[in-house]
Amino acid sequence: MKRAVVLGGGMVGAIMAEDLLRPPAGGGEPFAVTLVDRDSDRLAAIAARNEGLDTRQADLAQASEIESCIADADVVCGALASHLGFAALETILKAGKSYADISFMPEDAWTLDALAKEHGATAIVDCGVAPGMSNLLCGEAVRRLETTERLGIYVGGLPRVRHLPFEYKAGFAPADVLEEYTRPSRVVEGGKVVVKEALSEPEFLDFEGVGTLEAFITDGLRSLSASLDVPEMIEKTMRYPGHRALMKAFRDTGLLSSEPIVVKGQTIVPLEVTSALLFPKWTFEEGEEDLTVMRIVAEGSKAGGERVRLTWDLLDRYDPTSGRTSMSRTTAFPAAIAARLLMSGEADLGPGVHPPERLGLAGTYEHFLRGLELRGVHYSFKEEAL
C-alpha cells in the first residue's frame, strides 16, 4: 500500500487525510495515511473519527522534523499556513518527494523548479480551489480556444448568514485572509504585468442563490501572470457588500501592518493584534453554514474565428452530513485528486514545480471535474457567442 503524509491538521488537512485514507471515489486503492501537526489534541480528535489514520506530532516550522516525517512517504500533501509553505516545499523537494500543496505562500514557488528537477521531485503547488481549480480551468480555457483574449477569476468564501459588522468569517487562518488585503496584486493588462493595490477596483456581481456580491482585486493570479500568454487577466475576491470598505479602513489605519510599533513602552505588531482579536469573531461555529462562490470567465476565438465566452460557475455549500465547511472541502479535494494523479503518473508532468494551469493544459479537466462530482462538488459550464 502506498503511503501518504499530510502536513497540517487544520480543516483542510484533515479532509485531505480522510480522502486519501479511503478508497477513492470512482475506484482504486486507498493510501496508508499519516497526518502531522503540532497540536496533539487536534490530532487525537481527527484520529478518533478516522479508523486506521496514523498521526504524528511535530513542529512543521523545523526542516529536520519535516524530513523525518516524510522519509517513508510516496506522496506528500501540504496544508500549512502561508508563512510555512515555501520552506516546507524546499525541504520536501530536497527529499525527492511528490508533493500536492495548497499553501498560499507569498514567495514564488517556481523559483524552486530547478531544485525539484535536480532531486527528481514533482510538486503541484497552489492546488486548492483558488488558486487551484481556478488555474486549472484557465488552462482548460486556453487549451480549448485558438486565441484567448481575456481571463477573469472571481471567488469568495462566505458565511451563509450575514452578521454585522464584518459580514464575513474565515474558512482558513484569519492572518492569511488579512494578507490578501495588503499584498500588492499582480494583474495583466495589455500583455504586461501591472501591480495594483489590493482591495482596489470594486465591482458588483449577481449570483443566483446568493445575491449581489462585491468583487475587488487581490493577488490571486500568481503563476498565471507568467505561464499563460493571455493579454488581459485579473483575479478578484468576492465578499458581501460593505466588508471591503471596512477592511480598507483597517488597512489605512495601520491595523493590518506587519511593522512593529511601540505602545506605552511595549513593542507590538498591529497585524498580530488584529488577527488575535478577529480570530474568535471570524471562526465558524460548530455546524455554522458557509458557501463558496467562484466564476471563471474566458473570452477569445475558437478555431475558425468564432468569438465566444466560456464561463464556469461554482456554488458550493456546507455539507451537513459530514459537518465539513464548503471552503475546506473545495480546497482539500483538488489537492487529494492531484496527489492520486502524481502516484498514478496519469498527469505525466515530470519533475519540477508545477502550477495547476499545467494540469488544465495537460488535459486533466475531465478527470478533476469527475472526481469533484463524485465528492459532491459541482461546477457548471456554458459557452456563449460574442
Residue 43 to residues 11, 56, 225, 319, Cα–Cα distance (Å): 11, 8, 38, 22
- In this prediction, residue 180 carries a pLDDT of 87
- In this prediction, residue 70 carries a pLDDT of 98
Measured distance CA(82)–CA(20) in Å, rounded: 23
Measured distance CA(80)–CA(63) in Å, rounded: 13
Averaged in consecutive runs of 10 residues, what is the pLDDT profile of the chain (386 residues)? 95 95 77 96 96 96 97 97 94 98 91 98 96 97 97 96 91 75 93 96 94 94 93 97 96 95 96 90 89 97 95 96 92 96 86 96 94 95 96
Q: Which one, of 290, 166, 293, 291, lies nearest residue 238 by Cα?
A: 293
This prediction's pTM: 0.92
Measured distance CA(96)–CA(259) in Å, rounded: 37
- In this prediction, residue 100 carries a pLDDT of 98
- In this prediction, residue 26 carries a pLDDT of 64
- In this prediction, residue 179 carries a pLDDT of 84
Around Cβ 120, how many Cβ atoms within 10 Å?
A: 13
- In this prediction, residue 235 carries a pLDDT of 96
> Hey, what amino acid is at 218?
T
- In this prediction, residue 342 carries a pLDDT of 93
- In this prediction, residue 346 carries a pLDDT of 81
Q: What is the Cα 178 distance to its own chain's centre?
A: 15
Residue 225 to residues 8, 85, 105, 108, 271, Cα–Cα distance (Å): 28, 20, 16, 12, 28
